[in-house]
Structure 1
Amino acid sequence: MASGWAKEGAVQDQIDSDILDAVTRARLQLHQGDSMAYCELCDEPIPVARQLAVPGVRLCIQCQQEQDKLQQRAVSFNRRGSKDSQLR
């Protein structure tokens, strides 16, 4: 298949890189250690049920949701871009 200036297997290399990035991000988000009784950010108590359900939890639900939104914005770009954007 003709692919212009891209080397053979470049598409698969990009897919592999994307998967490796996603796995690395997921591993970094795994909680470790004992759960905290109070949120690191707002100092509100973390419910015991959350402490038991999520080992090593450090944030209350509200702060965790805010952190998740921030992280989602940070990784919502497309490195490959669309062909239309490359032609402009």
Structure 2
Amino acid sequence: MAGGWSRDGAVQDQIDASVEDAVNQVRSRIPNGESLTRCEECDAEIPEARRRAIAGVRLCVSCQSEQDKQQVIQGGYNRRGSKDSQLR
């Protein structure tokens, strides 16, 4: 049930849009193309099994782990201006 000037289902539309944005952001970070044989950060050899498992891999396991730790999840307000805490 929507209140004020919003139509029924508006909150669900905001939630769906936020989820879709997050999925698209993650998909854009998926590597593709030819895998490297050596890590582009530390020049260590990337094992054959990793290259076959992940298409377009560019980092060794150690460097990838470090990069994953450094990524920050952004919160606050979504693009439609609703409170992020209401969407959790």
3-state SS, counterpart of residue 20 of structure 1: helix
Secondary structure of 1:46's match?
coil
Q: For residues 41 and 49 of structure 1, do their structure 2 counterparts lie closer, same or farther at Cα, with a shift above 3 Å needed?
A: same
**Which amino acid is the alignment partner of residue 52 of structure 2?**
L
The CA distance in 1 between the partners of 2:12 and 2:20, in whole Å, is 12
Change (3 A) 1:34 1:10: same
CA distance in 1, matches of 2:24, 2:84: 22
Task: Identify if the C-alpha distance between structure 1 residues 26 and 6 changes in structure 2 by more than 3 Å, giving closer, same or farther.
Answer: farther
Q: Which residue of 2 aligns with 1:30?
A: 30
Deviation at 1:44?
A: 1.3
1:10 corresponding residue in structure 2: 10
| Residue identity matched to 2:33 | G
Query: In 2, Cα distance between the equivalents of 1:33 and 1:11?
Result: 38
Q: 1:69 to 1:10 in 2, by over 3 A?
A: farther
- State the 1:18 CA deviation: 1.3
Structure 1 segments unaligned to the other structure (5+ residues): 84-88
RMSD between aligned residues? 2.1
List, as ranges, runs of 4+ consecutive aligned residues in structure 1 with deviation greater than 4 Å. Answer: none
Alpha-carbon distance in 2 for matches of 1:82, 1:34? 40
Identity of aligned residues (%): 47
TM-score (norm 2): 0.72
Q: Greater helix share, 1 or 2? A: 1
State the shift of 1:2 in Å.
5.6
Provide TM-score, normalisation by structure 1.
0.72
